[in-house]
């Protein structure tokens, strides 16, 4: 007892420190969305590089040609802090992920045909995990209000090939 008593304040101090650090970290942790960027390789993309015009319209569900896409661990999260953990599982292609508000006209993101990409500024991009090399991952944390969003890759032709997903914040 004699040994223990003098140690109590130190133990208490350690607990306050640890608990004090741990609790706010949990309280602040927002939603986490795992985003997997995949494709079937450069050859598959070449073969599917057609009919880009069709794919501008998110209401059509993208090209869905099966050459590339993105997968989300969840497509809906509560409003507040949202962390996107993005992995590029490709063997040979660069991918990236942008977060944009769902196009108000329902006709897709503003597309620039000559670049085969959408206009990120005109689309109101809220943030991105830029150009991930094959096998790499990155993270993006945003504070999002309730609404509908689109997650999309803006490497040339990838959006048109179906590399986007709708995303909802409640
Ligand atoms: Cu991509």
pLDDT digits (tens, 9 = 90+) for 27-73: 457 999 999 999 988 765 444 444 444 444 444 344 456 789 999 99
Q: CB-hemisphere CA count at 13 Å for 59?
A: 5
Give residue 94 CA to ligand 1 midpoint distance, Å.
6
- What pTM was computed for the model? 0.74
What are the start-end ranges of the H helices in 29-146? 42-48
Sign of the C-alpha dihedral, residues 76, 146, 58, 52? negative
Cβ neighbours, 10 Å, residue 76: 13
Give residue 14 CA to ligand 1 midpoint distance, Å.
47
| Element at 117 (helix H, strand E) | strand 117-118
Give residue 9 CA to ligand 1 midpoint distance, Å.
56
The reported pLDDT for the residue numbered 65 is 65
What phi and psi, each to the nearest 5 degrees, are found at residue 25?
-60, -40
For the chain, what is the mean pLDDT?
A: 81
Give residue 66 CA to ligand 1 midpoint distance, Å.
13
The reported pLDDT for the residue numbered 107 is 84
* 38 vs 53: CA distance, rounded Å: 22
Give residue 4 CA to ligand 1 midpoint distance, Å.
60
Give residue 110 CA to ligand 1 midpoint distance, Å.
17
Give residue 157 CA to ligand 1 midpoint distance, Å.
8
Q: What tens digit of pLDDT does each residue of 142-165 get?
A: 999 999 999 999 999 999 999 999
Q: Which domains does the chain have, with CATH numbers?
A: 29-169 (2.60.40.420)
Tokens (6 digits) for 149? 């969003």
Closest to 164 in 3D by CA, of 56, 42, 74, 24: 56
Give residue 139 CA to ligand 1 midpoint distance, Å.
16
Give residue 18 CA to ligand 1 midpoint distance, Å.
42
CB 96 within 8 A of CB 129: yes
54 versus 106: the higher-pLDDT residue is: 106
CB 52 within 8 A of CB 58: no
Listed in sequence order, the residues at least 6 apart from 5 whose beta carbon sits closer than 8 Å to its beta carbon are: none
Closest to 143 in 3D by CA, of 127, 131, 123: 127
Give residue 22 CA to ligand 1 midpoint distance, Å.
37
């Amino acid at each position: 007892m004699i040994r223990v008593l003098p140690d109590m304040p130190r133990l208490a101090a350690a607990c306050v420190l640890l608990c004090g650090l741990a609790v706010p970290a949990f309280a602040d942790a927002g939603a986490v969305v795992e985003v997997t960027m995949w494709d079937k390789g450069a050859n598959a993309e070449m073969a599917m590089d057609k009919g880009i015009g069709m794919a501008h319209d998110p209401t059509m569900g993208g090209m869905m040609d099966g050459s590339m896409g993105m997968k989300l661990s969840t497509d809906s999260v509560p409003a507040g802090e949202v962390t996107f953990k993005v992995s590029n599982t490709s063997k040979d292609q660069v991918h990236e992920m942008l977060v944009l508000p769902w196009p108000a006209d329902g006709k897709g993101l503003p597309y620039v045909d000559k670049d085969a990409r959408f206009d990120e500024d005109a689309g109101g991009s809220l943030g991105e995990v830029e150009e991930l090399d094959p096998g790499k991952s990155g993270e993006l944390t945003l504070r999002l209000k309730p609404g509908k969003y689109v997650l999309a890759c803006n490497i040339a032709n990838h959006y048109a090939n179906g590399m986007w997903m709708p995303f909802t914040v409640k």
